[in-house]
Amino acid sequence: MSPAPGMGHPGRDEGCLMSRYNSKETEAKWQAIWDQRGSFIATEDPGRPKYYVLEMFPYPSGRLHVGHARNYAIGDMVARYKRARGFNVLHPMGWDAFGLPAENAAIANKVHPADWTYQNIATMRDQLKTLGLAYDWTREIATCAPEYYRHEQKIFLDFLKAGLAYRKESWVNWDPVENTVLANEQVIDGRGWRSGAPVEKRKLNQWVLKITHYADELLDALTKLDRWPDKVRTMQEKWIGKSSGLRFTFDLMDDADKIEVFTTRPDTLFGASFVAVSPNHPLAARLAAGNPDLTAFISECNSIGTSEAAIETAEKLGFDTGLKAIHPFDETRTLPVYVANFVLMEYGTGAIFGCPAHDQRDLDFANKYRLPVLPVVVPEGTDPASFKVGTEAYTGPGVLRNSGFLDGLDVESAKREAIGRIEATGKGEGTTIYRLRDWGVSRQRYWGCPIPVIHCDACGIVPVPEQDLPVELPTDVSFDQPGNPLDHHPTWKHVACPTCSGEARRETDTFDTFFESSWYFARFCSPHETTTAFDRSAADYWLPVDQYIGGVEHAVLHLLYSRFFTRALKDCGYLSVAEPFEGLMTQGMVTHATYKDAQGQWLYPEEVEQRDGVPVRIDGGEPVEIGRLEKMSKSKKNVVGLEHIIDTYGADTMRLLLLSDSPPERDLEWTESGIDGAWRYVARVWRLITEPAVELAPAGSPQPAEISDKGQAARRIVHKTIDGFGDDVEKFRFNKAVARVRELTNALAELDGKGAGEGWVLREGYETLVKLIGPMMPHLGEELWQGLGHAELLTESPWPEADPALVVDESVVVAVQVNGKLRAQLPLPRDAAKEIAEEAALNDANVQRAMEGKPVRKLIYVPNRIVNVVI
RNA sequence: GCCCGCUUGGCGGAAUCGGUAGACGCAAGGGACUUAAAAUCCCUCGACCUUUGGUUGUGCCGGUUCGACUCCGGCAGCGGGCACCA
């Protein structure tokens, strides 16, 4: 964007008019004043109601972009508004500073992850400060600092003691060329992103947290989170995935092994036509030992990687093991046993029976391998003989057929009956399972919090003694060889066993970075406490977070882990609350088109321009491929920086733009059209208030006895705006709040101030306007507040109160419909009686024309809204 | 593939409980002011028609209702998540 030059433009200062609003100077001035006065430093005060507002802290990826700014503009609006309403507000900011990008940068640019991270933090902190956000910067934390993660290590040891952490074999993506574990993101079409080698799955012994211990609690408590969006609660509910069903074992023909399966559809057991086990099932491993074809099949399945999305979208493949499972209700029936790539070892028992007629996945599989499809549930009233299942499974309700003793039952009764019969045979039982799995927290990476345990050949796993915490990351590491630098560090991992003093090794895995973000909100209550993770009284005062704000993309993982952590911390005696976030607002993502050059490399938007309608590189003119709209992220380079917007227009203008137009929960496609409009509004408010048409009444003067009709009308608008604005902010409808304030501005601009008392009305209106825009444009607000003759800061002034008498209109416009079509609009007194409204409606000429002389069949009157004449 | 959303003028969006579709802006067009421009101000702005009025219109198809952007059923397109990106 290149701003057009001109006198009214913020980028240019002709220096000739006092009406110029200089955003740069003004914003710096007020930021310094707030800072100097410590305006936003929070202290516990039991005498005042507290309000804890938190935006999800950022990963320090390098530069702040518009997506970050949207998040913080929303949070600051809430924080400043609540503050003006008299709350003792805690509004902190910090850095989610461990993570993979720092290591990628280390490998690509030979920078140490710590240097890279701290430099990014410094840059982003500076950028953040230019936004003028009401943060208590004294509480800033960075999760990569030992002062932070030492407490995390202690928390882990307490979880270990409480039985909430244990070791478990789990699968990872293995790059056989780089000898490195790959993140799912680093696996592209089954190959390592750098080496291009086909990925393998490997089993590693890893640390796991027992989130499933809280599965029921996490599920049940969702209903109480009434200030959370329904969609997030639904997503978590589905993620936990509580389902009841039947677990039972199949006996095999000519084989001593048994296969235990879980099903949510025991009613369809008579429709079973195969049994399938996961490629990682012990039985598959046993059979593969003597079978090179099966071994090859299993390794092919494993080349898909560990990502569930990849596994589920892959073509469904099976390998017939030749084994036959015996049907539990009919010993004469046998079912072929397959190894199938769509059966997940992590869910249920890692084995299923397939009923193709009533499960789409089973049907696809059966059609591919020519297995029988036998419908056993038939919709009520359908002839069972003619009911066929083709390419679409029938999953609806119905009556059982072809099912022996279940025939004639409905689905639910048949489930109960089938479970009862299996239980009677002793082959299995009705049970409840969860989709939720325990949380694997081990990562084979350097830039994370070291897991504080020691492996001793003699004593086994020994926790690091508390007095030896923190286990600090060594700084002298090399990324020249593949794998985890901690693992090949010459000395770091070699320690004496705390128990037997013999030679032992440190755990070289580090924690998943979701570990840090699962408790940071509580750390903000006492960020500098050295002896414990939380000062109990501070945590009791501030927690839970009253309003948490962040992207929807965190709807499940981060938010569920935090809920689990808070419960676990409570059980370990750290905290008093179980739920971390009382209110949640999930903002939509800021999206932008992505660009790729001919080599398939991502390009930044500023590297691309349109020439003759064709996108090309600015520097070489080579063609550029425009990709789809995606969430702004540094990895795809579709980020838009803030600097030049703030430089040209100021932070307030950008904040206004980010809050106008799009409602916060919706995705926002970033375009710079609109920034000029936002600036025009800033300049307009500035002119309106600094150059009033008439002299304003002095600050604090009493309401005059006489006020003109126009003045009274303006006052109604002022008070209606106060009322509606507050309501909008409470409900996160910032776009509407902005629209209201613009309407107020339009109304005040139209009042010439010459009528009786209008100088007083204008002062009331201007002061209200300034107070309302304060939470979104705080610098402009302070400057105008001062200009209106106030000595105290706007930031320290109370919110305006609406006069209830001025909020309701005396007359309303009621619409009149004839057979549902609008025919007239009638001004009527508020709450007019039914008879009056109906008479007025029927007397209207246009209504009579539409009625064509026909008699009224029915009259519907909704007071203050509508009359519908049905003829 | 599974789970969760979203879809309204040229564009962002408004319509809060089923009751006047398009508030408030952006862009565009026209005009005033100006030597000229910028800035500012005024007017027009869903589509169509036989224009003091009428028809039609909220992704598509169908339903419920006196009345549907809103509720129900089906479909399409777009986006998010899927456990090692954060």
List bases in chain B with any atom under 7 Å of a protein Cβ.
1-6, 11-16, 19-21, 23-27, 37-41, 53-56, 66-68, 78-86
Distance measured from the CA of protein residue A821 to the C1' of nucleotide B57, in angstroms: 14
Other Cβ atoms less than 10 A from the Cβ of A196: the count is 11
CA distance A23 to A408: 78
DSSP A59-127: P--SS-BHHHHHHHHHHHHHHHHHHHTT-EEE----B---SHHHHHHHHHH---HHHHHHHHHHHHHHH
Residue with minimal CA–C1' distance to B14 is A736
Taking residues A837-847, report their average pLDDT: 90
State the Cα–Cα distance between residues A164 and A518, nearest whole angstrom.
15
Residue A242 (CA) to nucleotide B3 (C1'), in angstroms, measures 14
pLDDT value at position A597? 78
SS3 category, A748: helix
Output the furthest CA–CA distance in chain A (Å, rounded): 105
Residue whose Cα is closest to the C1' of B80: A553
Split at pLDDT 50, 70, 90, the class of A293 is very high
* CA distances (Å), origin A770, targets A360, A764, A765, A787, A805: 60, 10, 9, 11, 22
Instruction: Give the nucleotide with minimal C1' distance to the Cα of A314.
Output: B1
Residue A8's pLDDT is: 44
Overall size of chain A counted in residues: 871
From the CA of A870 to the C1' of B86: give the distance in Å: 58
Distances in Å between the alpha carbon of A68 and those of A270, A652, A687, A733, A747? Answer: 55, 15, 31, 19, 34
CA torsion angle A700 A701 A707 A708 (round to 10):
-70
Cα radius of gyration rounded to whole Å, chain A: 34
Is pLDDT at A209 greater than 60 in this prediction? yes
Residue nearest to nucleotide B81 (CA to C1'): A553
Measuring alpha carbon to C1', the residue closest to nucleotide B40 is A8
Q: What is the SS3 assignment for A430-493?
A: EEEECCCCCEECEECCCCCCECCEEEECCCEEEECCHHHCCCCCCCCCCCCCCCCCCCCCCCCC
Determine contact, residues A516/A98, Cβ cutoff 8 Å.
yes
Distance, Å, A6 CA → B39 C1': 7
- Name the nt closest to A724 by C-alpha to C1': B16
Q: What is the pLDDT of residue A808?
A: 87
Peptide bond into A775 cis (omega under 30): no
Are A775 and A76 contacting, i.e. CB atoms less than 8 angstroms apart? Answer: yes
Q: Distance (Å) from CA A319 to C1' B25? A: 61
pLDDT at A4: 34
Condensed to tens digits (0 to 9), the pLDDT of residues A586-639 reads 998 887 777 777 777 778 877 877 666 567 787 877 877 777 667 777 777 777
Read off φ and ψ for residue A506, nearest 5 degrees.
-70, 150
Residue A691 above 70 pLDDT? Answer: yes
User: What is the nearest nucleotide to A310, using C1' and CA?
Assistant: B1
Distance A737 CA to B69 C1' (A): 21
Residue nearest to nucleotide B20 (CA to C1'): A815
Measuring CA to CA, how many Å separate A450 from each of A1, A39, A207, A506, A571?
46, 37, 12, 9, 24
Q: How many helices (H) and strands (E) does chain A have?
A: 25, 35
> Tell me, in Å, how far CA of A841 is from C1' of B51?
24
At A612 the pLDDT is 60
- Higher pLDDT: A602 or A87? It is A87
Q: In this structure, are residues A121 and A63 in contact, taking their beta carbons and an 8 Å threshold?
A: no
| A517 closest-nt by C1' vs CA | B86
Looking at this predicted complex, what is its ipTM?
Answer: 0.95
CA of A578 to C1' of B3 (A): 26
Quickly state the pLDDT bin for A18 (edges 50, 70, 90): very low
> Which residue did the predictor score with more confidence, A620 or A702?
A702
C1’ B14 / CA A73, Å: 22
Structure tokens at A642: 């803030």
Query: What sign does the CA torsion over A719, A725, A728, A733 have?
Result: positive
Backbone angles phi, psi at A794, to 5 degrees: -60, -40
pLDDT more than 90, % of chain A: 75
Structure token digits, residue A117 = 């991270």
Q: Is pLDDT above 90 for A640? A: no
The pLDDT tens digits for A394-442 are 888 889 999 999 999 999 999 999 999 999 999 999 999 999 999 999 9
Selection from A448, A728, A439, A690 nearest residue A562 by Cα: A439
Does the pLDDT at position A11 exceed 60?
Answer: no
CA distances A408 to A246, A267, A327, A384, A716, Å, are 21, 12, 21, 11, 69
Tokens in use for A355? Answer: 């009923």
Residue closest to A363 by CA, chosen among A281, A297, A278, A274? A274
How far in angstroms lies nucleotide B39's C1' from the CA of residue A3?
14
Report residue A15's pLDDT band, with 50, 70 and 90 as the boundaries: very low
pLDDT in tens, A774-814: 999 999 999 999 999 999 999 999 999 999 999 988 888 99
What is the CA A681 to C1' B14 distance in angstroms? 19
With helix as H, strand as E and coil as C, how does A273-289 read? Answer: CEEEECCCCHHHHHHHC
The whole-angstrom separation of Cα A237 and Cα A228 is 13
User: Average pLDDT, stretch A858-863?
Assistant: 92
The answer to whether A278 and A344 have CB atoms below 8 angstroms apart is yes
Cα A562 to Cα A212, A545, A693: the distances in Å are 14, 12, 55
Please give the nucleotide, over all strands, whose C1' is closest to the CA of residue A821. B67
Question: Which residue is closest to B38 in terms of CA–C1' distance?
Answer: A6
- A122-138 pLDDT, tens per residue? 999 999 999 999 999 99
Shortest CA to C1' contact from A361: nucleotide: B1
Residue A815's nearest nucleotide, by CA–C1', is B20
The predicted pLDDT at position A235 comes to: 94
Instruction: Give residue A696's Cα distance to chain centre.
Output: 47
Q: For the beta carbon of residue A517, count every other beta carbon within 10 angstroms.
A: 22
Whole-number Cα distances in Å, A247 to A252, A429, A433, A700, A822: 16, 6, 9, 76, 62
The pLDDT value given to residue A16: 36
Look at residue A807 in the predicted model and tell me its pLDDT.
Answer: 92
Strand A668-669 and strand A811-818: the pairing is: unpaired
pLDDT digits (tens, 9 = 90+) for A452-463: 999 999 999 999
Average pLDDT of the residues in A637-651: 85
Q: pLDDT tens digit string along A564-586?
A: 999 999 999 999 999 999 999 99
CA A787 to C1' B77, in angstroms, rounded, equals 52
Question: Taking 90 as the threshold, does the pLDDT of residue A150 lie above it?
Answer: yes
Phi, psi of A701 (to 5 degrees): -75, 150
Q: Which nucleotide's C1' is closest to A629 (Cα)?
A: B79
Quick one: DSSP state of residue A6? S
Tens digits of residue pLDDT in A713-770 = 999 999 999 999 999 999 999 999 999 999 999 999 999 888 899 999 999 999 999 9
- pLDDT in the model for residue A613: 59
Instruction: Report the distance separating Cα A410 and Cα A630, nearest Å.
Output: 46
